[in-house]
Chains A and B, each alone.
Chain A
């Protein structure tokens, strides 16, 4: 990762978070983002990243739970995730307008916390079975015998196209005088 001012700041913040965490080390197995409201906070970030009006809150909460689980994977992740969550809380991220949320997300884009939450959300959100339903995706179809005529071709707002090859295709492909195209050997690359 290239060192930018932001990364340095995040690095500094991690160091602070680490000392806080190590003072707590006497208690066995610290979990981050376990307080009431933490999951909602992360969920609000998931929604701001991938805003869908049609998706109910429970979907984003499910996704946030998965992200938090990854954040608890090991000590390094815990420290990193805590710092990120602190950032959201300091900004009262869940109370911001969508525009301000986007602005904040841009400012942390590329940070390990952002990468974890975004990377997890883009996979988990669109793999969510409730989301499939809302988006109109039917999932498994083999068990239902596949799609029949009138289903795989039910689009009715365009005419039915030709499916055979054009009669001139073979001649076009076989035209064996490509050198006629080869006179110009300059490549423009814009």
Chain B
């Protein structure tokens, strides 16, 4: 469907799990939507089974800078995050782990108490509210181990991981929940175990919005999908309501304007606050919806790290579904370990190309080469845990410019002592797991460019504490919504996408009902 630029439309910015889900929820209820996506639409046939070419095919490589004490600031200053600029968003490159928040993770302030330096806050919604939406999100994604869907089989990397966990007396390991089909589901085939997830899945077994929400929304006839259209400013009327979106055609560099009655922003946790800040006006000199000064603050990236180990026999860990191995024994909050919150361990494999670049950024020498030399005998796991929100971990407009002459975002990130303590604990557990099954050499790998980007547009019950309310609607501006992971008040230990989709389904329902009632 073609929507006129002069028509006051519902405009959604971004087509990742957040934006595409809201677009589908609205269009399937008959509400026309304009979807602006900064990147191109790339179909699965064009994805590449080759790490660097796949990365450069669609990673977000626009200018960004970093500051802070986290090691990534030094290692990957221009690349704070691994995000995708294409229809389907970063989920085009995602692995597929789909755990839920634990009930108390919606209320970390009440549960953990005051943690020095951390801006913990309870969400304005809870596990009970979210439960039905989690079920819908799992069915949309097709999570294994849920809704009667079968588990994926064990691959080599999982065999090492699970047996190591077992030998240490742990028991909560499994091959999921995971967003790739073990058996055909929802019109998509079963996994062919080709081992390429982070490059985009050529088989279509893996969920991402470009294989489900986008084509289905297009089929309703109500979606005007505009790829290569990067929003650069939100405009507002004299009453302070948003009334349009300025966007660049990234191919021609021409500037366009779409009139809007409602805008949902889902550009992920760096671009969303950046757009709000770039939309400053005489009425809102600090950026839109920013009376609380919370836009861009409390940015989180999850507590991460990896442990790799080599053995004296082959593993071939790059074969099969990359992250179909899940360990939950250390996820529960237990401050006796020396930190609050908890973490999961998940299997992870990289090809030699990425392993060379990421095993030890800046690393060289014999130990490093020995690790790489035993690549065939290598197993790997990823640590993902709750990190502490901190007000100064923050997205701001920096002094450098992007290719359009717009202020590039700066990402400031300091590790909180709780993050450091948790990472140390997780490294030890990871090493124990691998040593118990005969590891020859183990390696503690520092965080990669952030794949989980959360929290910079925090959801809060009180206006002064955040940017959006429990529906993801801006406290300050009634017809402006945020629909991505940036609304996360706190991040919990789990991978975020299932929750982003669940929140977006809920927001889509709400927004549709408000539009139908004429409340917006």
Contacts and interface: CB of A to CB of B under 8 A. Distances in A.
A147 B49 CA distance: 13
A190 interface: yes
Nearest to B317: A155
Given A122-B357, A147-B320, A154-B316, A137 B115 contact: no
Contact of A126 (B171, B173, B176, B356): B356
Query: What is the interface of chain A mostly: helix, strand, loop, or mixed?
Result: loop
A54 B104 CA distance: 52
A4 interface: no
B328 A173 contact: yes
A149 interface: yes
A90 interface: no
B155 A153 contact: yes
B356 A163 contact: no
Given A51-B369, A146-B193, A166 B103 contact: no
A187 B352 contact: no
Interface string A116-129: 00100111011100
A182 to B, nearest CB: 5
Given A142-B194, A155-B159, A135 B339 contact: no
Contact of A137 (B104, B152, B174, B351): B351
Nearest to B194: A146
Interface in B104-144: 104, 111-116
Query: What is the interface of chain B mostly: helix, strand, loop, or mixed?
Result: loop
Contact of B334 (A49, A122, A181): A181
Interface stretch (B244-252, B372-380, B481-489): B372-380
A175 B103 CA distance: 9
B421 A163 contact: no
Contacts of A158: 159-160, 163, 437
Interface string A149-166: 101111101111111111
A43 to B, nearest CB: 15
Given A142-B203, A175-B332, A187-B338, A159 B163 contact: yes
B313 A157 contact: yes
A178 interface: yes
A187 B335 contact: yes
A97 interface: no
B330 to A, nearest CB: 11
Interface string A98-111: 00001001000000
B154 interface: yes
Given A50-B372, A172-B172, A181 B335 contact: yes
Contact of B192 (A146, A154, A189): A146
A72 B50 CA distance: 28
Interface stretch (B300-308, B360-368, B466-474, B507-515): B360-368
B356 A122 contact: yes
A186 interface: yes
A140 B50 contact: yes
A188 to B, nearest CB: 4
Contact of B153 (A137, A140, A153, A159): A153
Nearest to A176: B103
Nearest to A106: B365
A43 B459 CA distance: 54
A37 interface: no
Given A142-B202, A187-B116, A161 B192 contact: no
Contacts of A173: 102, 328, 331-332
A142 B49 contact: yes
Contacts of A157: 313
Given A146-B203, A147-B320, A160 B159 contact: yes
Contacts of A163: 151-154, 158, 174-175
A169 B331 CA distance: 11
Contacts of B409: none
Interface string B419-444: 01100100000000000010000000
A109 to B, nearest CB: 8
A105 B328 contact: no
B113 A166 contact: no
A22 interface: no
Contact of A187 (B103, B115, B194, B368): B115
B421 A165 contact: no
A186 B421 CA distance: 12
Contacts of B176: 165
B315 A155 contact: yes
B154 A135 contact: no
Given A125-B356, A147-B319, 19 more contacts: A52-B372, A127-B353, A135-B376, A136-B314, A141-B194, A141-B195, A143-B49, A147-B192, A147-B320, A153-B153, A155-B316, A159-B163, A162-B162, A163-B153, A165-B145, A174-B103, A176-B104, A178-B111, A189-B338
14 contacts: A126-B352, A137-B375, A138-B319, A146-B194, A152-B155, A155-B159, A161-B163, A168-B172, A173-B102, A173-B332, A178-B333, A181-B335, A182-B333, A182-B335
Sorted nearest first, the 5 A-B pairs with minimum C-beta distance are A126-B356, A146-B192, A136-B376, A161-B162, A152-B320
